[in-house]
Amino acid sequence: MKKANIILIAFICLSNTLFAQKTFTLKSNDLGGQATVEEEFNGFGCTGKNQSPQLSWENAPEGTKSFAITMYDPDAPTGSGWWHWLVFDIPADVDQLVSGAGNVKLDLAPKQAIQSITDYGMRGYGGPCPPEGDGLHEYIITIYALKMDKLGLDQNANPATVGYYLWSNTLGKASIVAYYQREKK
Q: Architecture of 22-180 per CATH? A: Alpha-Beta Complex (3.90)
Read off the pLDDT of each residue in 32-59 and give the average, rounded to a whole number: 76
- Residue 50 CA to residue 53 CA, distance in Å, equals 10
- Check whether 16 has a pLDDT greater than 70: no
Which pLDDT tens digit goes with each residue over 159-181? 999 999 999 999 999 999 998 88
DSSP code, position 88: E
pLDDT value, residue 129: 86
- All structural domains of the chain with their residue ranges: 22-180
Read off the pLDDT of each residue in 26-52 and give the average, rounded to a whole number: 74
**Paired sense of beta strands 114-115 and 82-91, if any:** antiparallel
137 touches 76 (CB < 8 A): yes
Q: Choose between 122 and 46: higher pLDDT.
A: 122
- Residue 92 CA to residue 111 CA, distance in Å, equals 13
Strand-by-strand arrangement of the 66-73 sheet: 114-115, 82-91, 66-73, 137-146, 170-180
Which pLDDT tens digit goes with each residue over 88-108? 999 999 999 999 999 999 999
pTM recorded for the entire structure: 0.85
Q: CA–CA distance from 89 to each of 4, 12, 54, 176 (Å)? A: 50, 39, 18, 20
- Rg for the chain (alpha carbons), in Å? 20
Question: Which residues, 6 or more positions from 137, have their beta carbon under 8 angstroms from its beta carbon?
Answer: 73, 75, 76, 128, 130, 179, 180, 181
- Check whether 78 has a pLDDT greater than 60: yes
Which pLDDT tens digit goes with each residue over 123-148? 999 989 888 888 889 999 999 999 99
